[in-house]
Amino acid sequence: MKTSVSAFALAFIVVGCGSGAPPGENDVFNTQRSNEAASNGQRQAVLDACKPPFTGANGTGGKLTRAFCGVALPTSGADRTPQRWWDAAGCIADHPTAFSKSCKQLFKATCGNGDNCICDTGYKLDEDDTCIPENSCDNDNDCKTVANGKNKCSNTVEHDPPQGQCVITCNGGFVLSNGACVRCTPTTCAAQGKNCGSISNGCGGTLSCGTCITPQTCGGGGTANVCGGGCTPTTCAAAGANCGSVSNGCGGTLSCGTCTAPQTCGGGGTANVCGGGTTKFIFVTSAIYSGNLGGLSGADAKCQALATNASLPGTYKAWLSTSATSAGSRLTHSTLPYVLVNGTPVAANWTGLTSAPLLHTIDMTELGGSPPSSTGGACGTGMVYTDTNPDGSANSDSAGNFGDCNGWTTSLSAASEMGDYNESNSPYWTASCASDICSYQTPLYCLQQ
């Protein structure tokens, strides 16, 4: 056994390792590589580090066999040939975890197939077979090509060994991820929980997330790009509200609860305050109309419009009947007292309204004023179109003719039945005078439902 042969073989492992065939005899090695040829002691250190069993402090355990590595690790005789050393180096590439750490350190890199050394993760092989950081430039200040971006060296002067770092800049619409430029999907203001100012869209662009309503400012509440601060929200109590929803004065909404029946929200005439429900309003309209009211629905709409204009709460319908529909069948039979808009009682409830003299004449408009005079001719100036009996049924004569101006659709000659708002006695307040004229202009009675 000659030292020169073994040392020559170890040099192969250190500088050009792999599991392929060893270099040919005519290959020329530079001085640096020749100087790396191992001494007998160094070669023995490789053998000791790489052969089983791995029981040293740096050993990983395990055991190598011919079936595992292709050949046994050379220890003597003819096995100490360049080819055997080459195959042993291949074992480190094929089974890196089966070799001790000290063995890897002696080889200075993990060696693989194809006559190239494979560097550890995060490193790459330079032109001198040296493992350098992955993002280092090469000796010519070149960097590997990156799709959808540029990869340039930070150093403009060539140096051996290289000193610059490769810096990747991605094209528009792409972002750097794990050393590659990948397509970017822009975010949104909502996705980032922002509602004011400008933020990055995550792809190199900018998003405008709006402005704040005074007195709030962008970030004023302590969170960047979120409106806040500068405003102290009010409360339902401070706003004098106890039902429905109201503004908190800072761009938000307060829920102030619900009312207990029979009260309704705003039922007393004040928005967001429970009221009404303890009485029902009844009034005579401040406007006068002919017998052409647009039918029952048209008359109801007139009552509602006047009540709404007067800020009266609730829903209103006219005290009117036709030959097909009576007032008693279409109006709510309230269990609450009927009162004028100033609170004066008219009847204790529906039963009191339809079965006994009224407690007071219905002689006040929705505005709290005196009712207008009608043009009732011989019937008088306090006439009100009704065609309704005191009990709420439709009024007709002995021949069965109804005084409803043909369903309250005509102002021509037709039968009409009218009450007198100056009367509280039954039946006169609702059935006081019959006529064959529907051109008279009279007000209407309106009841809260």
Claim to verify: residue 179 and residue 67 sit in the same structural domain:
no
Claim to verify: residue 389 and residue 424 sit in the same structural domain:
yes
In a domain, 144, yes or no: yes
In a domain, 210, yes or no: no
Claim to verify: residue 111 and residue 139 sit in the same structural domain:
no
Claim to verify: residue 100 and residue 179 sit in the same structural domain:
no
Claim to verify: residue 171 and residue 287 sit in the same structural domain:
no
CATH code where residue 406 lies: 3.10.100.10
Query: Tens digit of pLDDT per residue, the chain (449 long)?
Result: 333 333 323 333 333 333 333 333 223 332 333 333 334 444 444 445 445 444 444 343 333 332 223 333 344 444 333 334 444 444 444 444 444 444 444 444 444 433 344 556 676 666 655 567 788 887 788 888 899 999 999 888 877 667 888 999 988 888 888 888 988 888 999 999 999 999 999 887 899 999 998 888 899 888 999 998 877 889 999 999 999 999 988 778 999 999 887 778 887 778 999 887 789 999 999 999 999 999 999 999 999 999 999 999 889 999 999 999 999 999 999 999 999 999 999 999 999 999 979 999 999 999 999 999 999 778 899 999 999 999 999 999 888 899 999 999 999 989 999 999 999 998 999 999 999 899 999 999 999 99
In a domain, 424, yes or no: yes
In a domain, 154, yes or no: yes
Claim to verify: residue 441 and residue 374 sit in the same structural domain:
yes
Claim to verify: residue 148 and residue 294 sit in the same structural domain:
no
Claim to verify: residue 427 and residue 289 sit in the same structural domain:
yes
In a domain, 221, yes or no: no
Name the residue range of residue 365's domain.
280-448
In a domain, 143, yes or no: yes
Claim to verify: residue 21 and residue 104 sit in the same structural domain:
yes
Claim to verify: residue 401 and residue 348 sit in the same structural domain:
yes
* Total structural domains within the chain: 3
SS (H, E, C) the chain: CCHHHHHHHHHHHHHHCCCCCCCCCCCCCCHHHHHCCCCHHHHHHHHHHHCCCCCCCCCCCCCCCHHHHCCCCCCCHHHCCHHHHHHHHHHHHHCHHHCCHHHHHHHCCEECCCCCEECCCCEEECCCCCEEECCECCCCCCCCCCCCEEEEECCCCCCCCCCCEEEEEECCCEEEECCEEEECCCCCCCCCCCCCCEEECCCCCEEECCCCCCCCEECCCCCCCCEECCCCCCCCCCCCCCCCEEECCCCCEEECCCCCCCCEECCCCCCCCEECCCCEEEEECCCCECCECCHHHHHHHHHHHHHHHCCCCCCEEECCCCCCCCHHHHCCCCCCCEECCCCCEEECCHHHHHHCCCCCCCCCCCCCCCCCCCCCHHHCCCEEECCECCCCCECECCCCCECEHHHHECCCCCCEEEEECCCCCCCCCCCCEEECCCCCCECCEEEEC
Claim to verify: residue 332 and residue 432 sit in the same structural domain:
yes
Claim to verify: residue 145 and residue 54 sit in the same structural domain:
no
